[in-house]
Amino acid sequence: MKVKDKFIRYIKIDTQSNPDSNSNPSSNNQFELAKKLVTELENLGLNEIIMTDKCYVTATLPSNTDKNVPVIAFIAHLDTSPDTSGKNVEHQIIENYDGNDIILNTENNIILSPLDFPILKNYIGKTLITTKGKTLLGADNKAGIAEIMTAIQYLTEHPEVKHGKIKIGFTPDEEIGRGADNFDVKKFGADFAYTVDGGEIGELEYENFNAASLSVTINGRNIHPGTAKNLMINSIQIANDFHNKLPKNERPENTEAYEGFFHLLKMSGTVDLTKMQYIIRDHDLKKFEKKKELAKKNVDSINSEYNKEIISVEIKDTYFNMKEKIEPVYHIVELAKEAMIEAEVEPKISPIRGGTDGARLSYMGLPCPNIFTGGHNFHGLYEFIPVESMEKAVEVIINISKNIVNKN
């Protein structure tokens, strides 16, 4: 089965993770895809196939070479983002794309246009898979799953291609920062790995954000507005004051490359009580710590103004920049780079403006750079992926797998 066909099969399964759930996994529908993958892995003849009660799937493709080579792994995540619905995904295939607007949804006038997304011009003549403007597509990360499964299928069908032991891992809940929570690195038994979870063709990443969540709670005091003078404490207004104390140039819409940000994800409130949820991101650890300190300083300032504690914050670190763990084994980045060049793909080494399971796994003892899936505009209605980019990702995975033998 071609990578396109696998991908289309997988996106039909709703696997949205749920940030409000405390269960593992956060949504039971992730098991549906996990079970399907277990069956496919069994049909391919892989060994040591395991699906845990927390929805982690692992498997082993045995070595077919006498050489002593490192055990490599390829990892992708089962869940899709909770930001946009992944239920009843409808896709469309645009063959020989002509460079013009693509109508996604006439009812809501949702158009995928090169005026808004100039990158589309890079794919004139290619085959694009898009949404129909009602859900996300799910390339993040079902494209990665499809690419890994297609590469493994190729290796099982072509025993003349020599490779060492290859481990496969599919994780739940990556999109809500829990993908590595119950991953047993020691039992997995790989020397290094690659997450197949990147964006456009050629992406190769070994740097990511340092990340934290910031929860803000503001307790106000509601008094009839006709008699509110010097008595009312409007928690919504204080929330606005807190937000405006954060630098405007450090919001996602104003940053790029290595620039970090504060991102307000959610806000709900009344005069009595307002809650806000942020994420904090920065590649530079010192700047990351300063951002957390600024949030605390602003809280102290507001509480001092009211001479009582009316605002509080809870800050939790989520993951850290894997660069520190990858640089000592930089040859694994070079291995991926060479595999791309062999596939006639130009490597684009850049920092991830986000995170992957690989970031946490790297700190857990499994160095894990990230390679491209080929997708664009993840997490939203405008998501698309060129079929040719997926095919190149498959080729890169195969090249990595065979080239490790040639180097030993």
pLDDT above 90 covers a percentage of the chain that reads 94
Are residues 247 and 264 located together in one domain of the fold? Answer: yes
pLDDT at 318 exceeding the cut of 90: no
pLDDT at 1 exceeding the cut of 90: no
Are residues 155 and 227 located together in one domain of the fold? Answer: no
Are residues 40 and 184 located together in one domain of the fold? Answer: yes
Active site residues: 79, 174
Are residues 48 and 144 located together in one domain of the fold? Answer: yes
Are residues 314 and 358 located together in one domain of the fold? Answer: no
pLDDT at 106 exceeding the cut of 90: no
Are residues 386 and 288 located together in one domain of the fold? Answer: no
Residue 183 pLDDT class (50, 70, 90 cuts): very high
Q: Which residues form the domain of 158?
A: 3-208+321-406
Are residues 65 and 187 located together in one domain of the fold? Answer: yes
Are residues 204 and 284 located together in one domain of the fold? Answer: no
Domain containing 276 — which CATH number?
3.30.70.360
**Structural domain ending residue among the three candidates 279, 298, 318:** 318
What tokens appear for 397 in the block?
């995975």
- Which residues partner with 217 through β-bridges? 275, 312
Render pLDDT for 256-303 as a digit per residue (tens, 0 to 9). Answer: 999 999 999 999 999 999 999 999 999 999 999 999 999 999 999 999
Question: How many independent structural domains does the chain possess?
Answer: 2
Give the pLDDT of residue 397. 98
Residue 407 pLDDT class (50, 70, 90 cuts): confident
User: What's the whole-number mean pLDDT along residues 189-217?
Assistant: 96
Give the pLDDT of residue 367. 97
* Residue in 25, 376, 381 with CA at minimum distance from that of residue 175: 25
Are residues 10 and 50 located together in one domain of the fold? Answer: yes
Render pLDDT for 79-91 as a digit per residue (tens, 0 to 9). Answer: 999 999 999 999 9
Give the pLDDT of residue 406. 85
At 1 the three-state DSSP class reads: coil
Give the pLDDT of residue 355. 80
**Structural domain ending residue among the three candidates 318, 336, 365:** 318
Domain containing 141 — which CATH number?
3.40.630.10
In degrees, to the nearest 5, what angle opens at C-alpha 126 toward C-alphas 120 and 132? Answer: 65
pLDDT at 345 exceeding the cut of 90: yes
CA distances 195 to 77, 167, 199, 355, 405, Å, are 9, 12, 12, 11, 20
Residue 390 pLDDT class (50, 70, 90 cuts): very high
Render pLDDT for 22-63 as a digit per residue (tens, 0 to 9). Answer: 999 999 999 999 999 999 999 999 999 999 999 999 999 999
Following CA atoms 170, 174, 177, 181 in sequence, which dihedral angle do they give, to the nearest 10 degrees?
A: -10
**Structural domain ending residue among the three candidates 262, 297, 318:** 318
Are residues 50 and 163 located together in one domain of the fold? Answer: yes
CA distances 64 to 149, 167, 172, 276, 349, Å, are 18, 14, 30, 54, 31
Are residues 16 and 112 located together in one domain of the fold? Answer: yes
* Residue in 107, 80, 105 with CA at minimum distance from that of residue 12: 80
User: What's the whole-number mean pLDDT along residues 311-320?
Assistant: 94
Are residues 90 and 195 located together in one domain of the fold? Answer: yes
